[in-house]
Amino acid sequence: MDAETNLVPEAQPDERWARLVAHVKTLPNLPGVYRYIAADGTVLYVGKALDLKKRVGSYFQKNDQSPRIRLMLTHVDRIDTTVVRSEAEALVLENNLIKALAPRYNILFRDDKSYPYLVITGHKSPRLAYYRGALDKRNQYFGPFPNGYVVKESIQLLQKVFKLRTCEDTVFANRSRPCLLHQIKRCSAPCVDFIQPEDYRRDVGNAERFLNGKGNELLVELEARMQAASDNWDFETAASLRDQVQALAKIQERQFVSSNTNALDADIIACVIEQGTLCLNLAMVRGGRHVGDKNLFPTHAEDYDAAEALGAFLAQHYLDRNVPPLLLCHPAPYDAELIATLLSDQAGRKVIINSNPNGERRIWLEMATKNAELAILQRRAQAASQSGRLTALVEALNLPEETQRIECFDISHTMGEATVASCVVFDRGDMQPKEYRRYNIDGITGGDDYAAMKQVLTRRYGKVANGEGKMPDLILIDGGKGQLTQAEEVLAEVGLTQPVLLGVAKGETRKAGLEQLIVATTHAVIRLPADHAGLHLVQQIRDESHRFAITGHRARRAKARVASSLEEIEGVGPKRRQKLLARFGGLQGVKAAGVDDLMQVDGINAELAERIYAALR
């Protein structure tokens, strides 16, 4: 959406400014999208307009624009426009471009990962699973949910009641005996026909009804079936239904915050601005139950009021994404009527945007507003704490006052196997996960941490020296004098002198608070008090680097061991290994397969199947 309305700079180079003004005069009085572009081709801002000439022209006629917009206009070299048929089409195109280009001066609600869903697949024996990604009409999706934990917990609870399969198709298609989930009563084992197809389909239907908010209706039906089975002296069936009723009742008690409104899907969105910080709280209700919320802090929000930011969020978040029939918003979003029409057309049903609800829905909206306010307070408190820690570190180590960006490196391996180096970034007062990087280390002697550190630093700062990436103010090296020496040599080789280098070595007992900070060149050792705020910042960054390296190493090691465990079996070459992994969905599927199952794979006879079966036990 379009936020800037009062936009003229105090001073502009005459030739460039005159050229822009002349171009504006040629624009049509038609709806469309405009893009402000810098001399290097970078898109600075994307906006929509009902009348391109009037809207773009307003940037060059007003004098009370914000400093940020004044700065933007000093970089504009040309204006590109696209004419569309309606303002609705302009809104769609605008948001597609914002998502694709991430312009520097647009408000951006970044959320790189798609929201998680719970899916019941469209197979003959449907599967219950966690899902992220594009939606497929062949399957049924429930959600989206605010986080993966809600989905995974839901799957575990639903398994207890409906016993639907969760295994991959390749594993399901090749089972000769039921898996452990059947033994612990979490799956009815349709893979080996331990349940009749019509009974399994009924369980699938019941799960769908529950996920659609019809839990009470389902409980009544199950209780009636239980009573009928008991009356017919079919006590085994009655006992099974009794267990299902009890488990279902427990889920209703503990899974979500209950609501008095049944069969309702809604999102509650509240936008709050306090002390210059804008926060949007998104809460989700699915099937009449509150399933969680999340706080979003957009970038480039300085010149937006709450209504404008909320309108931008609705367009960026819901266009080309599943949308519930009801959106409760505070305050009333900008372009609400237009957005509601677009979302209704997209969903194929009416989507209501309500900013003045009553009863329980008003309480939901008040809760979302309060949560946004609390999130702002927490964020500001954290920022103050981090700022204080950074100031304390700068003072303690006599670092340059402008120190802001800190990068930290760590090496992780197991006895030299699957070595991975990590680089984490602290900048703008907080950790910046989107700027983290992992590096697979190859071509060195296993376990040589010095060589590993030299390789990763050369790869990273060789590019920085050539103008790629950002220059840090401080580089932390997790290790002692040896690792620090490698870092000094690398920076000298690539010609970088600006970053300050600091080694972080564990104390004698490797206990937190006893870390030694080693200064580059002199290798002097500094020991800050255990309660020193600057040391706490170093520990936080170092621990994050360690965590990031370990998770990368474990993933690389696991991937390597999947292949190596099969490689060690005589007669299993690359082609047969690939066929086995593809047929059974991974090493765990191969381990679970019987001899007869293994023999079904092309190129594996009875003798080799026996050998594989024995080797993996």
Structure tokens at 216: 């009470």
Mean pLDDT of 544-562: 85
Burial of residue 572, with CB atoms counted within 10 A of its CB: 0-12 exposed, 13-18 middle, 19 or more buried: buried
Tell me, what's the pLDDT at 466?
A: 86
- Bridge partners (DSSP) listed for residue 142: 118
Range scoring the smallest mean pLDDT among 125-139, 173-187, 249-263, 543-557: 249-263
Contact 542, 518 (CB under 8 A): no
69, 4 contact by CB (below 8 A): yes
| 378-396 burial: b if 16+ Cβ within 10 Å, else e | eeeeeeeebeebbebbbeb
Assess whether pLDDT exceeds 50 at residue 2. Answer: no
| SS3 state at 603 | coil
Q: Specify the pLDDT at position 508.
A: 63
Q: What is the pLDDT of residues 484-535, one digit of tens each?
A: 999 999 999 998 888 899 999 986 655 666 789 999 989 999 999 888 999 9
| Digit-coded pLDDT (tens) for 239-285 | 777 776 766 665 554 443 334 444 478 999 999 999 889 999 999 88
CA–CA gap between residue 540 and residue 505 (Å, rounded)? 14
The encoded tokens of residue 294 equal 């999340």
Work out the pLDDT band at 617, boundaries 50, 70, 90. Answer: low
Domains of the chain: 14-101 (3.40.1440.10), 117-254 (no CATH), 266-376 (3.30.420), 406-554 (3.30.420.340), 568-615 (1.10.150.20)
- Distance (Å, whole) CA 184 – CA 92: 50
Strands (E), 446-537: 474-478, 500-505, 516-519, 525-526
Task: Inform me whether the pLDDT recorded for 7 exceeds 60.
Answer: no
Residue with tokens 């009801």: 326
Q: Residue 158: pLDDT band by 50, 70, 90 thresholds?
A: confident
Who has greater pLDDT, 431 or 137? 431
| pLDDT above 50 for 103 | yes
Residue 555: the pLDDT is: 84
pLDDT band at 406 (very low <50, low <70, confident <90, very high): very high
Q: What is the pLDDT of residues 63-87, one digit of tens each?
A: 777 777 888 999 999 999 999 999 9
Please, where are the H alpha helices in 271-426?
306-318, 336-347, 359-397
Backbone angles phi, psi at 543, to 5 degrees: -65, -40
Query: SS3 of 266, please?
Result: strand
> Residue 229: what residue type?
A
pLDDT at position 213: 65
Give the confidence band of 33 by pLDDT, cuts at 50, 70, 90. Answer: very high
Burial of 359: CB neighbours in 10 Å, binned 0-12, 13-18, 19+? exposed
Integer Rg of the chain from CA: 30
DSSP 8-state code for residue 108: B
Can you read off the two tokens belonging to residue 134? Answer: 């594009």
Q: Are strands 140-142 and 266-274 parallel, antiparallel or unpaired?
A: unpaired
Whether residue 178 is predicted with pLDDT greater than 80 in this model: the reply is yes
C-alpha atoms less than 13 angstroms from C-alpha of 233 in its C-beta half-sphere: 0
- Dihedral of the alpha carbons of 205, 159, 130, 249, in degrees to the nearest 10: 80
